[in-house]
Amino acid sequence: MAIITWQNAVIAFAGILVIGIFALVIVDGTFLHKQYLEPWAEDYHEQFEDPRVQVLAHGVLSPNSHNLQSWRVVLEGEDSFLLYVDTDRLSPKADPPGRQATVSQGTFLEYVRIAAEELGYEAEIELFPEGEYGLEGSPENLDSKPVARVSLKEASGDAPEEVRESRETGGYISPLYPVMFLPDTYRVSYRETKLQQEDIEKLEALSTENVTIVVFQEAEDVEKLGDIALRAAEVEAGNSGVQEEGSELFRPNEWEKNKFRYGFTMEGQGLSPLKVHVLQGLLSLFPSMNSPEASRDSFLSQTKTAVENTPAYALIITEGNSRTVQVESGILYSRFLLTASDMGYAMQPLSQATEEYPEMAGMYKEIHEEYAEEGETVQMLVRIGVPEKEVPPTMRLDVMDIIEE
């Protein structure tokens, strides 16, 4: 009798376990097609006839603040378009002046430029064709003027010889083009491996007249910048408004990822696909697990791990803080990211100390006193190194969702 009872208990437990797993699979949407990853396919752009849409389909892959993808495009004429900030996707608590949203317009433009070149066009980019919008971050201000006008012209026949040869042989025009299809942010641990000095020199040489890249890997600077990043994260973790804003942008399951296609997910943290789906299922069944408090603790833990496993940092510093140099810093960041990725390095912005809400003022002042000259602005703080593991790509909007006729 005891044996039968034990067997029945095992069967009952197995049944409950199966039902539980099935429930997790259903609420997570594990079986759904991941529409939010479609733009990462190298042939994604080929479904569109308009060359402007084809290059824009590459632009949506660019790195951007809080993965909000705050781009809005208005097509004009037959060969040009205007780029605006999409004010429906902003983070006013963490980015009250809309500076990071403006930087993200620049990251987009560089991906568009590289894609245009690869597809046989020259992208003529005019920043702020109607003048800069103001420095305050209201939606009315950020949406008042276009960030850029981009015109596509067929590449001229007098292109450099190596470009012509590459087109004739079907090779890549730019070595950075295939790198655009790699994940842009690695939140995992990096190896202790230092960057090669020649790589540092090449990366810093990307600097422009108004925007400078500086790489730090001496122990003193790594420790100092890591400490700034961690203390700034603690300030952010203690800001209920910022935490609630981040919690609202978190997509806990496949249903939500396909619906929104922007914001935060569990990918990118080195978790196995199975663990991601199990955790997503649990979060879907028990939403309280995604409370601002839980989000705060997870954020601090991840930042601490990141800081403890970072061999180098980079700063992007501009002359002044005009809207134009903000866009230019985004352009340079994309170039920096793609060039470093082509070398085998990965990056993760840790830019809390550069944010401009009142509670962060002390950290903002400290990083500028330590690393910027008078009149300069630190636009980004980035960790860089060789990642311990690969990460999957993150959500991206369908290109047609950012376009207005």
Task: State the average pLDDT for the chain.
Answer: 90
Examine the pLDDT at 279 and tell me if it is beyond 80.
no
- Do 211 and 336 sit in the same domain of this protein? yes
| pLDDT at site 159 | 53
Q: Tell me whether residue 262 is in a domain.
A: yes
Look at residue 5 and tell me if it is in a domain. Answer: no
Query: Domain residues for 221?
Result: 197-385
110 and 50 part of one domain: yes
pLDDT digits (tens, 9 = 90+) for 208-238: 999 999 999 999 999 999 999 999 999 999 9
Residue 269 and residue 373 in one domain:
yes
What is the arithmetic mean of pLDDT over 147-163?
78
Identify whether residues 350 and 218 lie together within a single domain: yes
Residue whose C-alpha is closest to residue 317's, from 384, 232, 382, 376: 376
Whether the per-residue pLDDT at 24 is higher than 90: the answer is no
Q: Distance from CA of residue 294 to its chain's centroid?
A: 22
Same domain, 141 and 208: no
One-character DSSP codes across 16-71: HHHHHHHHHHHHHTTTS--GGGGGGSTTGGGG--SHHHHHHHHHTTS--GGG---E
Show the DSSP H helices in 238-360 as ranges. 240-248, 254-260, 273-285, 292-308, 323-342
Q: Tokens 């070595």 — which residue?
A: 175
Confidence of residue 153 (pLDDT cuts 50, 70, 90): very high
DSSP 3-state assignment of 83? Answer: strand
| CATH number where 161 lies | 3.40.109.30
Q: In this structure, is the dihedral angle defined by the CA atoms of residues 178, 180, 186 and 192, taken in order, positive or negative?
A: positive
The answer to whether residue 298 is domain-embedded is: yes
> Quick one: 156 and 210 in the same domain?
no
Tell me phi and psi for residue 365, to 5 degrees. Answer: -65, -40
- Give a yes or no: residue 34 inside a domain: no
Is residue 27 included in any domain, yes or no?
no
Instruction: Give residue 278's pLDDT.
Output: 74
- Tokens coding 202: 């090449």
**DSSP run (H or E) holding 154:** strand 148-154
Q: Check whether residue 371 and residue 398 sit in a common domain.
A: no
234, 153: one domain:
no
Interior angle at CA 18, CA 13 and CA 23, nearest 5: 125
State yes or no: pLDDT of 318 exceeds 90: yes
The answer to whether position 36 is within a domain reads: no
pTM beyond 0.85:
yes
Is residue 155 domain-shared with residue 112, that is, in the same domain? yes
Least confident of 134-143, 161-170, 326-335: 161-170
Please, which pLDDT band fits residue 9 given cuts at 50, 70 and 90? very low
Q: Are 319 and 332 in contact (CB under 8 A)?
A: no
Same domain, 151 and 73: yes
Q: For the chain, what percent of residues have pLDDT higher than 70?
A: 88
Q: How confident is the model at residue 125 (pLDDT cuts 50, 70, 90)?
A: very high
Q: How many domains does the chain have?
A: 2
Mean pLDDT (whole number) for 248-272: 87
pLDDT exceeds 50 at position 174: yes
- The pLDDT assigned to 268 comes to 62
What is the predicted pLDDT for the residue at 2?
44
The one-letter code for the residue type at 108 is F
Tell whether 333 is covered by a domain: yes
| Residue 277, domain member (yes or no) | yes
Q: Which range among 54-63, 275-284, 325-334 shows the weakest confidence by mean pLDDT?
A: 275-284
pLDDT tier at 93, thresholds 50, 70, 90: very high
Average the pLDDT over each of 160-164, 176-180, 230-234, 347-351 and give the range with the smallest value.
160-164
Q: Are 281 and 31 in contact (CB under 8 A)?
A: no
Q: What is the mean pLDDT of residues 252-278?
A: 83
- For residue 282, count other CB atoms closer than 10 A to its CB: 15
